[in-house]
Amino acid sequence: MSVRSPFLFWENMKENIYTRFNQTLNYLYTQLPMFQRVGSQAFKKDLTNIKLLCEHLGNPFQQYPCIHIAGTNGKGSTAHLISGVLQEHGYKVGLYTSPHYRDFRERIKIDGKYISRKYVVDFVEKNKAVFKKIKPSFFEITVALAFDFFAKEKVDVAVIETGLGGRLDSTNIIHPILSVITNISFDHQQFLGNTLKKIAGEKAGIIKKEVPVVIGETQKETTSVFLKKAKTKKSEIYFADKNYKVVPKSENLTHTTFDIFKNKKLLFSNQKINLHGGYQAKNIATALQSLELLESHFSIKKSKMLKAFTHLKSLTNFKGRWQLLQKNPTILCDSAHNEGGLKLAMSQLNSLKINKLHLVLGMVNDKTIDKMLNFFPKDAQFYFCRPDIPRGLDVNILHQKAIEMGLSGKAYSSVKNALKAAKRNAGKKDLIYVGGSTFVVAEVIP
- pLDDT at residue number 184: 87
| pLDDT (average), residues 85-106 | 95
Contact assessment for residue 39 and residue 366, using Cβ atoms and an 8 Å cutoff? yes
Q: Per-residue b/e over 189-214, b at no fewer than 16 CB within 10 Å?
A: eebbbeebeebbbbbbbbbbeebbbb
List pLDDT tens digits, range 272-308. Answer: 999 987 779 999 999 999 999 999 999 999 999 999 9
- pLDDT at residue number 11: 53
| pLDDT (average), residues 111-137 | 95
- pLDDT at residue number 38: 45
- pLDDT at residue number 435: 94
When mean pLDDT is compared across 101-115, 331-345, 432-446, the lowest value belongs to 331-345
Integer CA distances (angstroms), 265 to 243, 246, 376, in order: 10, 11, 36
Contact assessment for residue 84 and residue 308, using Cβ atoms and an 8 Å cutoff? yes
| pLDDT (average), residues 422-445 | 94
- pLDDT at residue number 6: 55
Evaluate if residue 37 carries a pLDDT over 70. Answer: no
| pLDDT (average), residues 378-405 | 94
pLDDT band for position 15 (50/70/90)?
A: low
Mean pLDDT over all residues of the chain? 90
- pLDDT at residue number 164: 79
Evaluate if residue 101 carries a pLDDT over 70. Answer: yes
Domain ranges of the chain: 27-316, 323-442
| pLDDT (average), residues 196-200 | 90
Least Cα distance to 393 among 39, 16, 71 occurs for 39
pLDDT band for position 188 (50/70/90)?
A: very low
- pLDDT at residue number 151: 98
Answer left, alpha or beta for residue 32, where phi above 0 means left and psi between -120 and 50 means alpha.
beta
pLDDT band for position 36 (50/70/90)?
A: very low
List pLDDT tens digits, range 321-369. Answer: 888 899 999 999 998 877 877 888 888 888 788 899 999 999 998 778 8
- pLDDT at residue number 42: 44
| pLDDT (average), residues 19-36 | 79
Evaluate if residue 2 carries a pLDDT over 80. Answer: no
- pLDDT at residue number 330: 93
- How far is CA 336 from its chain centroid? 10
| Helix ranges, 236-301 (H) | 240-243, 280-294
- Order of strands, sheet of 108-110, starting from the edge strand that comes earlier in the sequence: 113-114, 108-110, 93-96, 157-161, 66-70, 178-181, 213-215, 237-239
The structure's pTM equals 0.87
Evaluate if residue 31 carries a pLDDT over 90. Answer: no
List pLDDT tens digits, range 220-271. Answer: 999 999 999 999 999 999 999 999 999 999 887 788 999 999 999 999 999 9
pLDDT band for position 192 (50/70/90)?
A: low
| pLDDT (average), residues 21-28 | 93
AA letter at 111: D
| Helix ranges, 254-368 (H) | 280-294, 302-310, 312-316, 339-351
**Does the domain made of 323-442 have the CATH classification 3.90.190.20?**
yes
DSSP designation for 116: P
Evaluate if residue 22 carries a pLDDT over 50. Answer: yes
Evaluate if residue 4 carries a pLDDT over 60. Answer: no
- pLDDT at residue number 1: 43
Evaluate if residue 315 carries a pLDDT over 90. Answer: yes
Evaluate if residue 35 carries a pLDDT over 80. Answer: no
| pLDDT (average), residues 108-127 | 97
* CATH superfamily of domain region 27-316: Mur-like, catalytic domain (3.40.1190.10)
